[in-house]
């Protein structure tokens, strides 16, 4: 919940409080912003928070040059307020005097009135020293200039040496708005034509890999997009839209979608094959299942939903094995940083290790639910090999009835045990990993 003292505060104070929580590892940016959606200055708050997360490590390095001594840990909100001010001075078209005045006013809502002169001095000092700071940043380590935590920068450079610079650049870009065409209702060409006929709608183009993918040149509210309310379209990145084809769906199959929220892949499976015997859909949180239900209803689709821990098969499984299983595993989400830049603040090497343990618990449990001859598609939105090809290699070494099925495609990077999409540019897909396993 928003602190009472911040409900009427200006957006800089609220952005600083959100950023401070994220630095402390609390919550997520999307979750925290949801509490502020009813406020008039939400667009500025959203832009500021996303930008500050995207460039936090760079802005923090600049701040350290402007301070005579570090800000105390107990004053984290003050440190974050200064980062908010620096971001707005560097990146937004807000007048400099407004950024400085509003940042100084924000310290009252943050209950640090003693810091007014400090905030004023630091931000004005930045304006005076911009050229000097730009010269010093050119000499900084690449991790700082790309604004990545050092541990993640080192992992990416080590694992993807040829692609690292592209990964950093694309992860810092603004993500595209990508749509999935419901081909039960319309063809992609029909959707593109309908969008082109709407005045002031941004240009739309077909995706390169999935036959259902459409990219909008600029984002729009979904209600403005022709056909969305009628169920012609859904919001889904192109990387996720590759899943149904990889599952090799056929009529009369029993399919499990584990860890399914928010349900984009669930709906796409049903759009791709209408004659499944059953699609069982699991997610741990009942609230997230409600969102899947809303998507199914909008698209006039049906599935069997259960709120359960997919790894606790005693809780939900009836003992009848599945022909196909989709395990979109919880992961570091390092392939979708452009959509969720708070990942740079929230993730740690220790958390990645814990996630690998969760992935192993899920895969080992669900493997028993798969029929002999059946296929399990393991996916993550991670680019870290310990969650992907190395993880699958470890599973194959311990499971005597599992075989990797090579994915032949003209997209991504072929790995020993899967195929990896790396984060694309403004007209490309997110980072995503796929491994297809057959049970024998």
Which residues are catalytically annotated?
A: 381
The answer to whether residues 245 and 222 touch, using CB atoms and an 8 Å cutoff, is no
- Which residue(s) pair with 437 in the sheet? 376, 404
What are residue 298's phi and psi, to 5 degrees?
-60, -35
Compute the half-sphere exposure of residue 77: CA atoms within 13 Å on the CB side of its CA: 19
DSSP letter string over 11-62?
HHHHHHHHHHHHHTT-S-HHHHHHTTTTSTTHHHHHHHHHHHHHTHHHHHHH
In whole angstroms, give the CA distance from residue 244 to residue 271: 9
In whole angstroms, give the CA distance from residue 250 to residue 371: 15
In whole angstroms, give the CA distance from residue 159 to residue 155: 6
Find the angle CA(123)-CA(128)-CA(132) to the nearest 5 degrees: 110
In whole angstroms, give the CA distance from residue 313 to residue 365: 7
Residues in the chain: 440
DSSP H helices, 35-184, are 42-54, 56-66, 76-91, 96-109, 116-128, 130-137, 142-145, 150-159, 164-171
């Amino acid at each position: 919940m928003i602190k009472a003292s911040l409900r009427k505060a200006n957006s800089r104070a609220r952005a600083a409080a959100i950023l401070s929580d994220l630095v402390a590892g609390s919550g997520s940016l999307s979750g925290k912003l949801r509490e502020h959606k009813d406020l008039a200055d939400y667009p500025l708050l959203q832009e500021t928070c996303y930008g500050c997360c995207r460039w936090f490590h760079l802005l923090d390095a600049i701040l350290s040059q402007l301070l005579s001594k570090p800000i105390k840990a107990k004053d984290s909100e003050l440190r974050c307020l200064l980062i908010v001010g620096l971001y707005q001075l560097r990146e937004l078209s807000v007048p400099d005097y407004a950024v400085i005045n509003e940042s100084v006013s924000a310290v009252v809502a943050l209950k640090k009135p003693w810091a007014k002169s400090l905030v004023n001095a630091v931000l004005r000092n930045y304006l005076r020293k911009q050229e000097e700071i730009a010269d010093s940043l050119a000499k900084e380590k690449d991790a700082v200039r790309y604004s990545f935590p050092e541990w993640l920068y080192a992992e990416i450079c080590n694992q993807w040496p040829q692609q690292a610079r592209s990964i950093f650049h694309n992860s810092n870009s603004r993500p595209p708005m990508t749509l999935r065409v419901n081909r039960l209702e319309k063809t992609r060409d029909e959707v593109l034509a309908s969008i082109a006929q709407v005045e002031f709608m941004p240009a739309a183009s077909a995706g390169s890999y999935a036959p259902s993918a459409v990219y909008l040149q600029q984002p729009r509210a979904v209600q403005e997009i022709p056909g969305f309310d009628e169920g012609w379209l859904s919001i889904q990145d192109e990387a996720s839209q590759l899943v149904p084809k990889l599952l090799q769906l056929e009529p009369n199959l029993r399919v499990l979608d584990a860890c399914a929220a928010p349900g984009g892949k669930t709906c796409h499976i049903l759009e791709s094959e209408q004659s499944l015997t059953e699609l069982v859909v699991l997610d741990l949180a009942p609230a997230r299942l409600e969102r899947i239900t809303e998507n199914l209803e909008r698209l006039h689709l049906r599935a069997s939903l259960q709120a359960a821990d997919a790894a606790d098969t005693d809780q939900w499984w009836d003992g009848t094995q599945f022909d196909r299983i989709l395990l979109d595993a919880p992961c570091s989400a390092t392939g979708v940083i452009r959509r969720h830049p708070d990942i740079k603040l929230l993730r740690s090497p220790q958390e990645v290790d814990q996630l690998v343990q969760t992935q192993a618990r899920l895969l080992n449990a669900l493997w028993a639910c798969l029929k002999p001859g059946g296929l399990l598609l393991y996916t993550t939105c991670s680019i870290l090999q310990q969650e992907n090809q190395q993880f699958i290699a470890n599973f194959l070494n311990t499971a005597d009835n599992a075989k990797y099925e090579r994915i032949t495609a003209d997209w991504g990077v072929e790995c020993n045990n899967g195929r990896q999409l790396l984060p694309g540019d403004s007209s490309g897909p997110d980072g995503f990993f796929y491994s297809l396993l057959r049970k024998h």
